[in-house]
């Protein structure tokens, strides 16, 4: 019989949290949404009505909420009598959940999704949150391992799972320094659905029991753009006309400058070329707009209802929840976080929209996805702004190659779907369906 995990690592972790609490609180104070009270960070949520079964799904921020959408829709369909409460760490994640609720409302779906901010992982806060929420099942997306929340769930008999489990080599090196704490936390989990063999091995090396881990693949491949998104992309594409259009999504500081340099070079060959630039974080919208203007480029901003005319060089995607729509309206898509040491973002979003995928070399967070796209001949990799500019010029000259890349991307996505069904089957062992 396995020995229970030591409590000392979690006690030391909790003590460190208390010592750092002023800094932690200052950080989360800025992550505020008008729809939620800050007291939620302390687990002070209303007690849930009796007799209303709930599933709890935690997603850190915007990218995770977007990636979890197929799972959200499947959970609502698989458990029709239950509500789904989604927690996020960030205000932008909260906005994305609200956008998801609005989309389902427009589609005539019953409103069965709620949102709360994830409480800080203090022991008392975690116990209070779980006691008031009373979930039947707690699901954590990707790498969200919170020792006190997992312990609170275990003590109340709430089964827990990590889905789309991801642990990059870089993250593994950091977590390995805290192996006793991670082993203690992972021992509380009932099931971990890893998205690759490499991720599974890294979780095992941190102490995840082998009998509770399965490799199911990435839920990101199960992304299927809905009819409304596809229609919005077609309308936008029609309005933009026949000019060369490329989109750079989820960009970061130090990357926008390189993308604008590449765009300036592209416009030497195609003076009417348009870049749709979509920064990853909304707090950077103003700074990126100023950067575009400093470069002497004409700018239109989507959030202001401005429309790019034939002279506009950059269309700033300064809205939330529209990245798929913007990807689908372009001829080529560059996925950000890859020209700077961030680790990349979801390469499958433009692929699922039938748009050729370009990326930089920094792909630590998507090594397996990048390799799959690479093997399928569906990924174009560049090392910097000069190579990106040359690649853009080449691809805009070669319509046949753009079509081949688009079809190859769609084929890779279709061939690797299936993680959603395996994930639902695993969750059903913890909470049987209806």
User: Do 107 and 155 fall within a single domain?
Assistant: yes
What's the rounded Cα separation, in Å, for the pair 388 and 263?
A: 9
Name which of 388, 334, 341, 332 is nearest 365 in CA terms.
Answer: 341
What's the rounded Cα separation, in Å, for the pair 143 and 164?
A: 8
In the prediction, which pLDDT does 38 show?
A: 85
237 sits in which H/E element = helix 227-240
In the prediction, which pLDDT does 409 show?
A: 98
Cβ contact 167:143 at 8 Å: yes
306 catalytic? Reply is no
C-alpha atoms less than 13 angstroms from C-alpha of 92 in its C-beta half-sphere: 17
Residue 308 included in any domain: yes
* 34: its two tokens: 């008008």
What's the rounded Cα separation, in Å, for the pair 195 and 59?
A: 16
Residue 118 included in any domain: yes
User: Do 371 and 294 fall within a single domain?
Assistant: yes
Kindly name the residue from 31, 64, 144, 322 that is annotated as catalytic.
Answer: 64
Phi, psi of 49 (to 5 degrees): -60, 140
Instruction: Match 């200052």 to its residue by tokens.
Output: 26
Residue 251 included in any domain: yes
Cβ contact 344:338 at 8 Å: yes
What's the rounded Cα separation, in Å, for the pair 185 and 172?
A: 15
User: Do 171 and 293 fall within a single domain?
Assistant: no
Residue 107 included in any domain: yes
User: Do 275 and 182 fall within a single domain?
Assistant: no
Residue 2 included in any domain: no
Cβ contact 313:263 at 8 Å: yes
Phi, psi of 289 (to 5 degrees): -60, -45
Residue 194 included in any domain: yes
Cβ contact 132:43 at 8 Å: yes
CA-to-CA dists, residue 7 to 51, 120, 339, angstroms: 34, 19, 42
Cβ contact 94:122 at 8 Å: no
In the prediction, which pLDDT does 434 show?
A: 67
In the prediction, which pLDDT does 1 show?
A: 40
Q: What is the CATH number of the domain that holds 275?
A: 3.40.50.2000
Instruction: Match 């500081």 to its residue by tokens.
Output: 253
Q: Please give the DSSP secondary-structure letter assigned to residue 336.
A: S
User: Do 344 and 239 fall within a single domain?
Assistant: yes
Residue 110 included in any domain: yes
* 49: its two tokens: 């009505």
In this structure, are strands 299-301 and 83-88 parallel, antiparallel, or unpaired? unpaired
Q: What is the pTM of this model?
A: 0.85
- Written as one string, the DSSP assignment of 102-142 is HHHHHTT----EEEEEPPP--HHHHHHHHHHH--SEEEEET
User: Do 212 and 301 fall within a single domain?
Assistant: no
Torsion, Cα of 87, 32, 186, 433 (10° steps)? 0
Q: What is the CATH number of the domain that holds 130?
A: 3.40.50.11720
What's the rounded Cα separation, in Å, for the pair 357 and 251?
A: 15
Average confidence (pLDDT) per 10 residues, the chain, 434 residues? 68 92 83 81 86 90 89 93 93 87 75 92 96 96 94 96 93 93 95 95 96 94 89 95 96 98 98 97 94 97 95 95 94 98 94 98 91 97 97 98 98 96 96 77
Domain count, the chain: 2
In this structure, are strands 213-215 and 191-194 parallel, antiparallel, or unpaired? parallel
Phi, psi of 74 (to 5 degrees): -70, -40
Sign of the alpha-carbon dihedral angle for 103, 105, 110, 112: positive
What's the rounded Cα separation, in Å, for the pair 49 and 242?
A: 55
* Structural domain harbouring 207: 30-217+418-430
User: Do 50 and 115 fall within a single domain?
Assistant: yes
Residue 295 included in any domain: yes
User: Do 407 and 425 fall within a single domain?
Assistant: no
Residue 244 burial (CB count, 10 A): 22
User: Do 121 and 209 fall within a single domain?
Assistant: yes
In the prediction, which pLDDT does 96 show?
A: 87
In the prediction, which pLDDT does 233 show?
A: 97
Q: Please give the DSSP secondary-structure letter assigned to residue 10.
A: H
- For residue 314, give the 3-state DSSP assignment: strand
Name which of 91, 134, 137 is nearest 115 in CA terms.
Answer: 91
User: Do 80 and 121 fall within a single domain?
Assistant: yes
Apex 161 CA angle, 88 and 417, nearest 5: 85
User: Do 101 and 236 fall within a single domain?
Assistant: no
* CB contact set of 29 (below 8 Å; sequence gap of 6+): 38
- For residue 385, give the 3-state DSSP assignment: helix
User: Do 213 and 232 fall within a single domain?
Assistant: no
Instruction: Match 């998507």 to its residue by tokens.
Output: 366
């Amino acid at each position: 019989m396995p020995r229970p995990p030591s409590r000392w690592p979690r006690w030391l972790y909790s003590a460190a949290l208390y010592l750092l609490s002023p800094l932690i609180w200052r950080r989360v104070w800025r992550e505020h949404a008008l729809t939620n009270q800050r007291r939620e960070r302390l687990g002070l949520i209303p007690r849930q009505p009796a007799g209303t079964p709930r599933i709890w799904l935690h997603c850190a921020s915007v990218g995770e909420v977007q990636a979890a959408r197929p799972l959200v829709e499947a959970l609502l369909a698989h458990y029709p009598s239950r509500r789904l409460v989604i927690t996020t760490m960030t205000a932008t994640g909260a906005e994305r959940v609200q956008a998801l609720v609005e989309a389902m409302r427009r589609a005539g779906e019953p409103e069965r999704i709620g949102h709360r901010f994830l409480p800080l992982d203090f022991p008392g806060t975690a116990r209070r949150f779980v006691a008031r929420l009373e979930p039947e099942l707690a699901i954590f997306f990707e790498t969200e391992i919170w020792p006190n929340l997992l312990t609170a769930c275990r003590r109340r008999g709430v089964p827990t799972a990590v889905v789309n489990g991801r642990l990059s080599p870089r993250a593994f090196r950091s977590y390995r320094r805290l192996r006793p704490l991670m082993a203690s936390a992972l021992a509380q989990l009932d099931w971990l659905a890893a998205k690759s063999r490499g991720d599974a091995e890294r979780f095992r090396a941190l102490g995840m029991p082998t009998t509770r881990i399965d490799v199911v693949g990435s839920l990101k491949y199960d992304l299927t753009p809905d009819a409304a998104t596809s229609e919005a992309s077609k309308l936008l594409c029609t309005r933009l006309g026949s000019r060369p259009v490329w989109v750079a999504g989820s960009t970061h500081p130090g990357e926008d400058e390189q993308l604008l340099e590449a765009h300036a070079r592209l416009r030497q060959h195609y003076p009417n070329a348009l870049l749709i630039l979509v920064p990853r974080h909304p707090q950077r919208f103003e700074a990126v707009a100023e950067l575009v203007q400093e470069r002497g480029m004409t700018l239109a901003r989507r959030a202001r209802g401005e429309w790019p005319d034939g002279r506009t060089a950059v269309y700033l995607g300064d809205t939330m929840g529209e990245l798929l729509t913007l990807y689908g309206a372009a001829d080529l898509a560059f996925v950000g976080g890859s020209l700077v040491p961030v680790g990349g973002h979801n390469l499958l979003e433009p692929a699922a929209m039938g748009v050729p995928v370009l990326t930089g070399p920094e792909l630590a967070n998507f090594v397996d996805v990048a390799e799959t796209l690479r093997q399928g001949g569906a990924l174009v990799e560049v090392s910097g702004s000069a190579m990106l500019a040359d690649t853009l010029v080449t691809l805009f000259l070669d319509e046949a190659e753009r079509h081949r890349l688009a079809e190859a991307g769609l084929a890779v996505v279709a061939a690797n779907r299936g993680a959603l069904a395996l994930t639902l089957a695993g969750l059903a062992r913890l909470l049987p369906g209806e």
